[in-house]
Amino acid sequence: MEIFYQITLSVKTLLACSILPFLYFGLHAKYWYSPNRLRNIDIMLVLVASLSAAAIVISMTAPGRSAEGIDAMLLAFAHLCPLALTFLIVAEGRRRPKVTHTHQNPNSTSDETSYIPAPISAIEHLTWDDLIVSHELKRELDTVVRLLHDPQSAAQYGIEAPKGILFQGPPGTGKTTIAKVMANVAGLSFFVLRSDDIVSKWVGESEKNLSKLFHAAQKHAPSIIFIDEIDSIGKTRASDGQRFNDNLLNHLLQLVDGVIKAQGIYIIGATNRADLVDSALKRPGRLNKVIEIPLPDMNARAELFRLYLSKLTLEAEINYFFLAKMTQGCSGATIKEICNQAGLNAFQRESAGSKKDRQYQVTHNDLMTALEQFAPTSLQHGELPSGTYGN
Ligand SMILES: Nc1ncnc2c1ncn2[C@@H]1O[C@H](COP(=O)(O)OP(=O)(O)O)[C@@H](O)[C@H]1O
Ligand SMILES: [Mg+2]
């Protein structure tokens, strides 16, 4: 009490109190993308305003203060005004919806943004057996996985576990699937960052969504953040100044740097065009380890056919190498589609007849039709020769 009695109010203390509302707006303008930090700022401002108000009120009850007259009372009242204003704006700011989407789902009852990042759980069954990659690539990826799984042993060897990797390769070569397998095998939570999910027309909203995802990944650490088509966010900064994208990229760089310093979060970026990715993202210490994911070669294509056709019942044995030869330049995704389409063709053919006659088998023709659909150029030489079947 005694200490509060000694407070003498003056123009200086009035100015100090008046700064609080300005501080609120200044800090909110600076950290609008970080809801957690804003909450802490609000708590801090309310605490400071409450303590100041309590100190001023107590100081007015000091013995002999009443003799100072009406001017002293007015000065104290003037002090309380900005403090009360601070309470009001913090309360109003927290009451108002943080984000309003005009394109928000009208059925949604929430007035918050609909973007709620969560780890992907559908990766639990994925293992290396689901992937056809060359031995060298598998060994390289496996080393990374072991380092991610056990960063302590990396430290014992005096090496740093990679914090950021960039997968480069044509579409459908399995980049996303590889990242999922790595997360599952290393036992990490898996978050996917797609620009479509986070980019919003509202100023600052995209950055806020980006922060949300990184915070969620931190909460579920150890985790992998997989940035699909990273070139769409991390595109080389255009000289004509695409400010919107620049802001997002700068924010991503800040978050990536934060992650690199933190423990237990790893970033994997994927792109078809590594040359389009801003060099700041590929700088040493960020996503500097570039791993090439090429189109499958002859052997890999044969293995892919073996993998995906094993899920179907075939009428006769198949020469996988012949199929591989017919699908030169096709990605793993296309081969998967061909096999699936062959099954669909069988289903369509058999569903035209009666149920009891169904064989549930994929025939030579089903496969041919599928190949024609997805790899027409490889069939320019006509019918699949009879050598396709048998070994
Ligand atoms: N090398 C591969 N081994 C096994 N499956 C593959 C391979 N490449 C692609 N696929 C399959 O193709 C589909 C698309 O692959 P995806 O990982 O999305 O490719 P990307 O991310 O490179 O575009 C997935 O279902 C995946 O299982
Ligand atoms: Mg992908």
Q: Are 349 and 361 in contact (CB under 8 A)?
A: no
Q: State both tokens at 197.
A: 């999910």
Atom of ligand 1 nearest to the CA of 228: 21
Atom of ligand 1 nearest to the CA of 132: 3
Select the more confidently predicted residue: 130 or 8: 130
Atom of ligand 1 nearest to the CA of 296: 1
Distance 377 CA to ligand 2 centre (A): 24
* Averaged pLDDT of the chain: 81
| 113 DSSP assignment | -
Distance 30 CA to ligand 2 centre (A): 35
Chain-centroid distance of CA 348 in Å reads 39
Question: Nearest bound ligand to CA 129?
Answer: 1
How confident is residue 249, by pLDDT bands cut at 50, 70 and 90? confident
Asked if 47 and 89 sit in the same domain, the reply is yes
Distance 129 CA to ligand 1 centre (A): 13
Distance 174 CA to ligand 1 centre (A): 3
Bridging pattern class, strands 265-271 and 289-292: unpaired
Asked if 76 and 149 sit in the same domain, the reply is no
Residue 59 lies in a domain: yes
Last residue of a domain, one of 95, 119, 142: 95
Counting Cα atoms < 13 Å in the Cβ hemisphere of 309 gives 26
pLDDT at 210 over 60: yes
Which has the closest alpha carbon to 280: 243, 246, 240, 229? 246
| CA nearest ligand 1 atom 15, residue | 174
pLDDT at 32: 65
What residue numbers bound the domain in which 257 lies? 128-292
Three-class SS state of 131 = coil
Atom of ligand 1 nearest to the CA of 170: 22
pLDDT at 162 over 80: no
Asked if 368 and 243 sit in the same domain, the reply is no
Last residue of a domain, one of 292, 319, 334: 292
Cα gap 33→116, rounded to integer Å = 15
Q: Which of 336, 337, 338, 339 to mutate to test the pocket of ligand 1 (most atoms within 8 A of CB)?
A: 336
pLDDT at 101 over 60: no
How confident is residue 35, by pLDDT bands cut at 50, 70 and 90? low
Site of tokens 């919003």: 200
Q: Are 230 and 269 in contact (CB under 8 A)?
A: yes
Last residue of a domain, one of 243, 263, 292: 292
Question: Nearest bound ligand to CA 311?
Answer: 1
Distance 171 CA to ligand 1 centre (A): 9
Asked if 153 and 203 sit in the same domain, the reply is yes
Distance 131 CA to ligand 1 centre (A): 8
Instruction: Report the pLDDT averaged over residues 9-19.
Output: 90
Asked if 281 and 312 sit in the same domain, the reply is no
Residue 363 lies in a domain: yes
Cα gap 225→268, rounded to integer Å = 6
- 49-63, 66-80, 235-249, 320-334: lowest mean pLDDT where? 235-249
Question: Nearest bound ligand to CA 291?
Answer: 1
Residue 165 lies in a domain: yes
Residue 171 lies in a domain: yes
> What is the per-residue pLDDT across 311-339, written as a single tens digit (0 to 9) for each?
998 888 888 998 999 898 999 999 999 99
pLDDT at 108: 40
Cα gap 169→295, rounded to integer Å = 7
Residue 144 lies in a domain: yes
Asked if 286 and 310 sit in the same domain, the reply is no
Which has the closest alpha carbon to 268: 175, 187, 346? 175
Distance 287 CA to ligand 1 centre (A): 22
Protein residues with CB under 6 Å of any ligand 1 atom = 131-133, 171-177, 270, 296, 304, 332-333, 336
Residue type, 271: T
Asked if 308 and 377 sit in the same domain, the reply is yes
Cα gap 330→198, rounded to integer Å = 31
CATH of the domain at 331: 1.10.8.60
What phi, psi does 126 have (nearest 5°)?
Answer: -80, 130
pLDDT at 196 over 50: yes
Long-range CB pairs of 320-324, under 8 A, 24+ apart, other chains included: 322/384, 322/385, 322/387, 322/388, 323/367, 323/371, 323/388, 324/298, 324/299
Sheet holding 223-227, edge to edge: 189-193, 223-227, 265-271, 164-168, 289-292
> What is the per-residue pLDDT across 222-243, written as a single tens digit (0 to 9) for each?
888 998 888 877 665 554 445 4
Q: Are 269 and 233 in contact (CB under 8 A)?
A: no
Asked if 220 and 325 sit in the same domain, the reply is no
Distance 230 CA to ligand 1 centre (A): 17
Atom of ligand 1 nearest to the CA of 133: 1
pLDDT at 187 over 80: yes
Atom of ligand 1 nearest to the CA of 180: 17
Within 8 A by CB and 6+ apart from 118, the residues are 191, 216
Cα gap 98→324, rounded to integer Å = 54
Distance 6 CA to ligand 1 centre (A): 74
Within 8 A by CB and 6+ apart from 205, the residues are 99, 113
Atom of ligand 1 nearest to the CA of 171: 23
CATH of the domain at 247: 3.40.50.300
Residue 113 lies in a domain: no
Residue 120 lies in a domain: no
What phi, psi does 362 have (nearest 5°)?
Answer: -95, 125
Within 8 A by CB and 6+ apart from 83, the residues are 17, 20, 49, 52, 53, 56
Which has the closest alpha carbon to 215: 147, 116, 363? 116
| CA nearest ligand 1 atom 17, residue | 174
DSSP3 helix / strand / coil % (the chain, rounded to 5): 55, 10, 35
Asked if 222 and 78 sit in the same domain, the reply is no
* Rg of the chain, C-alpha, whole Å: 31
Asked if 157 and 257 sit in the same domain, the reply is yes
pLDDT at 378: 59
Q: Are 67 and 245 in contact (CB under 8 A)?
A: no
> What is the per-residue pLDDT across 123-144, written as a single tens digit (0 to 9) for each?
778 888 999 998 898 998 888 8
- Look at the chain and report how many structural domains it folds into: 3
Residue 91 lies in a domain: yes
Asked if 35 and 9 sit in the same domain, the reply is yes
Question: Nearest bound ligand to CA 179?
Answer: 1
Asked if 259 and 206 sit in the same domain, the reply is yes
